[in-house]
With several copies, the nearest count.
Chain A
Amino acid sequence: MPVQVQTAIFDPGQLLNALHRDQLGVGAVVGFVGYVRDFNDGQEVAGMLLEHYPGMTEKALQKIVREAEERWPLSCVDVVHRVGKLEPGEPIVFVGVSSAHRSASFEASHFIIDYLKTRAPFWKKEDTAEGPRWVDAREGDQTALDKWAPRS
């Protein structure tokens, strides 16, 4: 099960270690963890609510993982994304990739989180001192995709 959407908190270290376990052909594991920060866009953040599109979310993530698997020779991929109520300091998302060599693991995990940021149906609503606010999409998340465009 390479893709998991859940309300429960998770342990990033455990997920990182699980990507290698007993696979003696794996030389390189890369794990990315996104955390809730206590500050964003100039405001203190006391927590957030993560909304998603049940049904579509898992499909969107699986499609992104399949695209990565077509592009790089990977052993295992693991994506866990939380929804619901989150506190500052809690992990939001884990993207882990194992492979024989390091460049595939680095590039595939970076690719997956870049695509997740612009293609997977999640929306963050932050609690700030001025009340709740929907997080605005970052321009940089779109331009981050440029590096994955096929080279001519």
Chain B
Amino acid sequence: MITVQFFARYRELLNQDQAHMHWDEHLDTVGALRNRLVDRGEPWILLSEPRLMCARNQELCNLDEPLRDGDEIAFFPPVTGG
């Protein structure tokens, strides 16, 4: 099982802050997970925007980051704190 979290604009537009997905061997990177979500069509397509940021187990990562069963993944727009 993968826990996927969404924040800020993504959370609002997807109308959810969290999703659970079964892990399988094709979900080998964070990018593969993103693509599977984008393939669902609207409104998930917004996750294809190039500025998307992601974290694996609460650390920033790139889309080529390996994905393992049990991971907590988060997708969010560019951060604007400070």
Contact = CB atoms under 8 A, between A and B. Distances in A.
Are A and B associated in one complex? Answer: yes
Interface of A: 34, 50-53, 55-56, 59-60, 63, 81, 92-93, 102, 113, 116-125, 134-138
Interface stretch (B23-31, B32-40, B53-61, B62-70): B53-61
Nearest to B60: A119
B76 A121 contact: yes
B8 interface: yes
A120 B7 CA distance: 13
B79 A123 contact: yes
A61 B57 CA distance: 15
A56 B81 contact: no
A63 to B, nearest CB: 8
B9 A56 contact: no
Given A51-B7, A137-B51, A122 B58 contact: no
B82 interface: yes
Contacts of A34: 82
B77 A137 contact: yes
B10 to A, nearest CB: 10
B5 A53 contact: yes
B55 A124 contact: no
A70 B48 CA distance: 36
B7 A123 contact: yes
B59 A122 contact: no
A52 B81 CA distance: 9
Nearest to B78: A137
